[in-house]
Structures are given as C-alpha cells and as structure tokens.
Amino acid sequence: MRGTETYKNRIPIESLIFVNRNLRLSSIKMIGFDMDYTLAIYKYPDFEILAMEKTIERLVEKGYPAELFKGNFESGFLMRGLVVDKINGNILKLDKYNFVHRAMHGKRMLTYEERYSNYRNKKLDLFSEDFMWLDTLFSIPELAIIINAIDNIRNKKRFHFVKYSKLISDVRKCIDEVHQDNTLKQIVLSDIPKYIEYDPLLPPTLHRFKSNGKKLFLLTNSYWEYTNAVMSYLLSNRMREYKDWTGYFDIIIVGAKKPDFFNSNNMFYTVDVSNSQIKPLQTTIASFIKGIIYQGGNINDFERLSAIRGEQILYVGDHIYGDILSSKKRTLWRTCMIIPELEKEIKVSQENMKEIKSLNRMEMQSIILDRSLNLIKYNMKNEDGCDKSLRGDFEKLKRKHQRLIEAIKKKRDAISKKYNAEWGSLLREENELSKFGAQVEDYACIYTSKVSNFFHISPDQYLVSPPKLLPHELEIEELIR
Ligand SMILES: [Mg+2]
C-alpha cells in the first residue's frame, strides 16, 4: 500500500533527474560537488545586477565613459550558452552544427540576409580569439553589459570610436577582476541570504547519500575563506548529525583551478584554516585525511589519494567546460550537470506541450508534402504533355504546403518566445539542439535543476535514459497515425 501511495505522489516534473546515459547510482562510491551555482545557487537577479554594477564601475575607472554602459538589466535579452563575435560585436545562438540561427547587434536582431552574409559561408573558428563563449551563469551580467554598450554605440554617434573587440575583452577582464579581487565576494559575504538561495532540502540530501555509504567531496575553484562562509550558511547547524559543514564531506578541495585540475600536474597544498596560509602537501602521504582542507591539485593525485577512481565517481557541476566537459573528456568520471534554468524551461514546455506536439506533427506533414510535391514536379518535367489534372493537383498541393510552412513558422515563433523573448529555449533551436543543449547531451550523463532533486529518488536508483525516436521511426509514427 505504501509503495502505491508513493507512486501516486509523483515527483514534480521540474524536480526530476534526466538521463542521457544510464547510470547505476548503486555503483557510485563517491560523489563530488562544485560549489558556485551547484551547491550555492545565486539569487537572480540580485547577484547579476550587483556583478553588472561593480564591473561597470571598474570599466569607468579604466577610462570608459559611464554613458556607454547606460541601460537596464533586461532578462529577455539574456541567456547563457551564447557566443560573442568580438569583431562584429554580435551575439550568436548556434545549433549543434554551429549554424548561426539568431544574431543580435546591441538590442537589434539581425535579419536573415544579414546573418546569411555574415556567417553562412564561413567556417566559424569558435576557439579563435575572435569568439568568446558565454557558457556559465556568471556570464549573464557580462552579456547585459555588452548588449547595452553595443546598443549605445549603435544609437549614439559619439561612441563610434569604440572598437568592439577591445570593449568586449575589457568587459571580460573587468568582470574577472571584480570576481578575483574580492570586490563581489566581500559584498556577498556581508549579506549572504540576500545573494545566495538557502535550500532546506540540501542538508538532508547530502545526509542520505552519506548514510547510504557514499563518500562525498567538494571540488571548488573558490578559496577557503569564501568557501567556508558560503558552505557554513548552506550546511552548518542545519542537522543534528553534523557539527559544521565540513562534516558532510570526506575530502574538501578549494582553489582547484578547474579545468586545469583535470589536465595538469598542479600540486596539492594544505590550508591552515586559522590564517588561510597554504603549504605544499607532502608527496609521500598515502591518502587524504578527513578534516584537512586541501587546495589546488590534479586528477591523478586525487584518484591515488582517495583510492577511488573512474566510473565509481559521480561529479556534479554547473559549468559545461570547467566541470562537465573536462571531467568527461579527461576521466572516466560520471557527470551530473546542474541547470538552474531547467525549472523554467520545463514549466514552459509543460504549459505548451499540446502546441509543441501539434508543431512537431505539422513539421512531419510538411516533410511528407514536400516529398510529394517534388516528385510531381519531377514527373511533370519529364513527361511529354503532362495532363492538366496533374498540374492542377500540383498547384493545389503547393498552396497547401505554403500555408503549412507559414503556420509552422508562426507557431514556432510563438512557442519560442515563451522560453525567452529573443533567444527561445536554452536547450533547443528549431528542430535541433542548441549548441549548449548539444553539449549537455554529449557530456552530462544526467542533468537536473538542483542538487536537492536527488532527495526525491533512492540513492541506489538505476537511472535509465528514455527511448528516443529515430527519423525513420518518426516517419512510421506519422504513417500509422
Ligand atoms: Mg560552478
């Protein structure tokens, strides 16, 4: 009876864990966590607005006119997973094949013709200096600054001297500076509840893993003082079983310098928590000691000292490059990506599922109709004196197809706007995955909106990926409908 009741009390869909590659949690011996935007979710938009203001202050100190950055933090223009074309000052949304679907200059979307002439016949070298990825949630304020500045350049003649690539590089430099020199951290630490979400399910989620025999580790790029303050807020004095937050973790590594952690020989240090001084870790030690705080290090020493390796480790992070792609490419670690935006994406998909299904169906019908039209056209060309009725059918079908294409476009735009007014869905672009969505699919074994979603499933769950329909199966499905 209890089992049935539990089954009926379904987990809310926005709290589910989604599976790209099957993962047996019972085989996982150790689970690692990133901190920023994984365990500690920053409050939107308070933190973003703070980062934006402090970065602009820094840019003005460096000589930029304050007027250049005038503009609001407007969420409709902002999304991560986008690429900046530094030469032309355009923001791009790509699909999984690097085809540019949307491009924005300031706050103006480029027309199809403009996109075509700029990007269609060129191979985009996204790893060159001319392009920059905005793939973390920390890049949202950066994008807001760039969009406002380029919009002001576009609209005001007096800013025409500003070179896009220099401006965009300087924005990146200044935002990095305010992160690294503690400008932002000091403000966050002065009022943590204002900037970081407290998730009451996080402590019991970690506790469940531990009481089920999993080892836990923290692997963050933040340094000791900041990590200690943020983690204390999230975990200390939240459960009787743990005196403070460090009790939840078997290994704690700060200042890890990911992604270098996964592909360098950086040495480990130990941190003296009384004064944050570090000293090199003796190379002769055989294993990590619980309670000691480590800094830096590399994957090879980590696996040797923890005596757990490869597929027995699940790493949970939010950064596609620093956490997920690097660990997936360089190690056998299993990966879980935290995507806080997923809750909204799911809500929109859920509210519009009827429309989305109807759109998919219309697109299948368009493919089938287009095939018939082309065949008739070919036959008409190759038959002498083709009969009038065939031509009549062709014209009728052609008009039907045209109407269908227009209806598809209208429906697709209407749905897309509900995810984000300008950029559509984070994970999709038309019928393809977005570049970001494709990276999630390629590198994240599982993904979910927040760590505490694990609270809703058994710590021994066999997470299985759902069946996917291939193109020929979709045709069959349409045929038998
Ligand atoms: Mg992070």
In the reported structure, the alpha carbon of residue 396 is separated from the centroid of ligand 1 by a whole-number distance in angstroms of 56
**Predicted pLDDT of residue 5:** 52
CA 387 – ligand 1 centroid, Å: 67
Helix (H) or strand (E) holding 84: strand 82-85
Give distance in angstroms: CA of 120 to centre of ligand 1: 34
Whole-number Å distance between alpha carbons of 242 and 236: 7
Give the residue from 7, 82, 13 showing the smallest Cα distance to 343.
13
Q: Which fold has domain 18-41+197-340?
A: Rossmann fold (3.40.50)
CA–CA distance from 16 to each of 103, 274, 338, 356, 454 (Å)? 33, 41, 12, 21, 8
Which pLDDT does position 299 carry in this prediction? 94
Distance 466 CA to ligand 1 centre (A): 28
- What phi, psi does 390 have (nearest 5°)? -65, -45
Give bridge partners of residue 448 from the DSSP assignment: 338
Catalytic residue among 34, 135, 170, 323: 34
Side chain identity, residue 262: F
DSSP state of 36: B
Tokens of 184: 């932002």
Report the predicted TM-score, pTM, of the whole model to 2 decimal places.
Answer: 0.94
Structure confidence at residue 1 (pLDDT) = 43
370 is catalytic: no
CA of 39 to the centre of ligand 1 (A): 8
CB 314, CB 295: distance < 8 Å: no
Question: How far, in Å, CA of 326 to CA of 311, rounded?
Answer: 15
Distance 221 CA to ligand 1 centre (A): 8
**Position 186, amino acid:** Q
Rounded distance, CA 337 to CA 436, Å? 12
Ligand 1 mean position to 323 CA, how many Å? Answer: 8
Predicted local confidence at residue 297, as pLDDT: 97
- Measured in Å, residue 205 CA sits from the centre of ligand 1 at 19
The domain ranges of the chain are 18-41+197-340, 46-192, 344-446+465-480
How many C-beta atoms lie closer than 10 Å to residue 85's C-beta? Answer: 22
Q: Give the count of beta carbons closer than 10 Å to the beta carbon of residue 169.
A: 14
Tokens of 160: 């025409």
Q: 378: which 2 tokens?
A: 């070919």
Per-residue pLDDT tens digits of the chain, which is 481 residues long:
455 555 556 899 999 999 999 999 999 999 999 999 999 999 999 999 999 999 999 999 999 999 999 999 999 999 999 999 999 999 999 999 999 999 999 999 999 999 999 998 888 888 899 999 999 999 999 999 999 999 999 998 888 899 999 999 999 999 999 999 999 999 999 999 999 999 999 999 999 999 999 999 999 999 999 999 999 999 999 999 998 999 999 999 999 999 999 999 999 999 999 999 999 998 788 999 999 999 999 999 999 999 998 999 999 999 988 888 777 777 899 999 999 999 999 999 999 999 999 999 999 999 999 999 999 888 888 766 567 778 888 999 999 999 999 999 999 999 999 999 999 999 999 989 999 999 999 999 999 999 999 999 999 999 999 999 999 999 999 889 8
Q: What are phi and psi of 340, to 5 degrees?
A: -55, -30
Question: For residue 277, which of 269, 285, 286 has the smallest C-alpha distance?
Answer: 269
Beta bridge partners of 433: 428
Q: Is 357 helix (H, G, I), strand (E, B) or coil?
A: helix
**Helix count (H) and strand count (E) of the chain?**
17, 19
Which run of H or of E encompasses 254?
Answer: strand 251-254
- Report the alpha-carbon distance of residue 288 to residue 304 in Å, rounded: 9
User: Do residues 311 and 239 touch, judged by C-beta distance below 8 A?
Assistant: no
Task: Give the largest CA-CA distance in the chain.
Answer: 94
Ligand 1 centroid from CA 92, angstroms: 23
Report how far residue 258's alpha carbon sits from residue 323's, in angstroms, rounded to the nearest whole number. Answer: 7
* Residue 36 annotated as catalytic: yes
Closest CA to 478 of 376, 363, 373: 363
pLDDT digits (tens, 9 = 90+) for 379-412: 888 766 567 778 888 999 999 999 999 999 999 9
CB–CB of 219/261 below 8 Å? Answer: yes
Catalytic residue among 36, 85, 151, 250: 36
Nearest to 55, CA basis, from 191, 148, 156: 148
